[in-house]
Amino acid sequence: MTDSKPPIISIQNITKRFPGSPVAAVDNVSLDIMPGEFFVLLGPSGCGKTTLLRMIAGFEIPTSGTILIDGQDMAAVPPNKRPVNMVFQSYAVFPHMTVEQNVGYGLKIAGVSGDEAASRVREALDLVKLDGLGARKPDQLSGGQRQRVALARSLVMRPKVLLLDEPLSALDAKLRAQMQFELSDLQDQVGITFVTVTHDQDEALSMAGRIAVMNKGEVAQLAAPSDLYEYPANRFVADFVGSVNLFEGKLTLDEPNRAAVDCPGLGKVYLNHGVTGPHGADVWVALRPEKIYLHVPGKGDAIRAAAQDAPEDHNLARGQIKGMSYLGDITLYEIKLDSGAMIRVSRPNLSRHDQEDFTWDDRVSMHWRADSPVVLLS
């Protein structure tokens, strides 16, 4: 993907209002999707992401605004004439047809037959790793294989854009994780634009080149996965994408290379960069659980660690463990701070034997690095 190319999809000030609803399902959204991009629309139920996807497909008509696909205004173009194909959440595989018949159905409707149709069906089945299963019926396939049939049926039409509505939601957790990698690899192989809708943040982070996080019909933030996670634009994105601790405070220092926030719940927070906010402003500090280090209290380890990149009495906290969840690769701790506020800390289980053991009701000290917190103005 190169930014010098024109966008394959350009969404310009799109709004959708359904009759009888006091609010817009999609509210003045503008964004560009580039050729060959794996683009994800992410958000909670009712945020407008599926409505936006359906407007790209032509199944919903915008109340206002413009959608261009490959430079052409789609206002008067019906769904079957658009250079897109859609994979539905339910897969919509015909149960009475074989795999080959399912995959070739669109070609039959389009008037493609004979050797060309057979060749394109074989090519599509090979792409989705279903070669040799063409004679089977859908009820003889696993959930993951049925999903691949739906993908092959869309890819065989050679669309410029493939639209996917919650494509992995019907799969179990282990298969879903496997298919995330397969979808990403498939998109890389075929080189066409994928636009996917999901409410699953892990799914979005693992597959997307860019993600538009939607909330209440608007785009809350559009960025690469790592930027969404590490530099959320607001509290909604910070809280929706991953796990986060949020503390309200006042900005007490803001200079180009440093800032400080006084949080009644967490304490004094120091950052090694500026945040561009007025002195004394009400702000929120976002701190990811995995960026907090746990220490046995009384040894001075937390104080010495925090002092490496923060002033005295900054980036430190103390509390008592009130909850634990062992998840195999990590352990999650719910800790009641001395202020009475709660904080969540995640700790990787790097060794079976050599780590400090913490358990319920233990007193603990904590520190975090000066580049770990994010200050949010909204």
Query: Does the pLDDT at position 139 exceed 60?
Result: yes
Give the model's pLDDT for residue 127.
84
Render pLDDT for 227-237 as a digit per residue (tens, 0 to 9).
999 999 999 99
Please state, in angstroms and rounded to a whole number, the distance separating the CA atoms of residues 336 and 263.
15
Render pLDDT for 144-179 as a digit per residue (tens, 0 to 9).
888 888 888 888 888 999 999 987 776 777 777 777
Of 49, 30, 40, nearest to 215 by C-alpha is: 49
Q: Round to the nearest angstrom and report the end-to-end CA distance of the chain.
A: 32
Query: Does the pLDDT at position 256 exceed 70?
Result: yes
Give the model's pLDDT for residue 354.
58
Give the model's pLDDT for residue 353.
67
Instruction: Kindly list the domain boundaries of the chain, sorted by start residue.
Output: 9-236, 244-376
Query: Does the pLDDT at position 373 exceed 50?
Result: yes
Calculate what percentage of the chain has a pLDDT beyond 70: 98
Query: Does the pLDDT at position 1 exceed 50?
Result: no
**Using an 8 Å Cβ cutoff, are 364 and 358 in contact?**
yes
Secondary structure of residue 37 in the 3-state scheme: coil
Please state, in angstroms and rounded to a whole number, the distance separating the CA atoms of residues 359 and 321.
7
Please state, in angstroms and rounded to a whole number, the distance separating the CA atoms of residues 274 and 271.
7
On the CB side of 65, CA atoms within 13 Å amount to 23
Comparing 19 with 357, the larger pLDDT belongs to: 19
Residues in the chain: 378
- Name the average pLDDT for the chain: 91
State the CATH architecture for 244-376: Beta Barrel (2.40)
pTM: 0.90
Calculate what percentage of the chain has a pLDDT beyond 90: 65
User: Please, which pLDDT band fits residue 130 given cuts at 50, 70 and 90?
Assistant: confident
Render pLDDT for 180-209 as a digit per residue (tens, 0 to 9).
888 888 888 888 999 999 999 999 999 999
Measured CA angle at 115 (ends 110, 119), to 5 deg: 85
Render pLDDT for 48-106 as a digit per residue (tens, 0 to 9).
999 999 999 999 999 999 999 999 999 999 999 999 998 887 767 888 999 999 999 98
| Pairing assessment for the beta strands 38-42 and 210-215 based on DSSP bridges | parallel
Query: Does the pLDDT at position 2 exceed 50?
Result: no
State the CATH architecture for 9-236: 3-Layer(aba) Sandwich (3.40)
